[in-house]
Amino acid sequence: MKKLSHVDEQGRARMVDISGKEASERFAVARGSISMKPETLAMIQEKTVPKGDVFSVARIAGIMAAKKTSDLIPLCHPLAIASVTVDFTIDEKKGKIDIESSVKVAGQTGVEMEALTAVSVAALTIYDMCKAIDKEMAISDIVLVEKRGGLSGTYKRS
C-alpha cells in the first residue's frame, strides 16, 4: 500500500511540501451528472426557470469553485489556474445533464481537485436554481476522467 502524502510520521494531517518540485503543465478532466424530471429539463432548455439561465450561472459557479478549491479542501494548495472550462450535455432520454470540467495550470501540483470541485459546484448550482420545481433531482457519478502531468504521469479512466 502506498504511503499517504498528507499524513506525517506521527499520523497527523499535513499539507504536502511541493517546494522542491519542478513546475510543469498539469491538466485534469472531471465529469458528473444531475438527473431530473423531464419537465425540469425542458424548463432549463427553454430558459424558463424562474431564477434565470441555469447553464450560464452554473458555468460561472463551477469556474469560481475551481479557483477557490484551496479555500474549500483543507490540504489543497492555492494555484494560479491558467484555464477552466465547464460544459453541459443534455441527455433527454435519461433525463439528465452531464457536466464536464477541464482545468489547466503550470505549477508544482495537479488540478484534479479543482476539476472535481468545478463539476460538484456546477451540479449543486443547477440543483439550487431548480429545487423549487424539482426536489427529486439527484447528483451522481462525479469522477476524475483524466489527468496529465507531474511525477505520476497520465491517468485515463477506463
Catalytic site residues? 128
- Alpha-helical segments (H) within 68-142: 69-72, 112-130
Q: Which residue has the cell 429545487?
A: 131
Task: Tell me the β-bridge partners of 135.
Answer: none
Coil/strand/helix, residue 147: strand
Q: Do you know the residue count of the chain?
A: 158
Which strand ranges, in their side-by-side order, compose the sheet holding 155-156?
A: 83-91, 96-107, 24-35, 138-148, 155-156
- Alpha-helical segments (H) within 5-100: 38-46, 54-67, 69-72
The kind and range of the H/E element at 54 are: helix 54-67
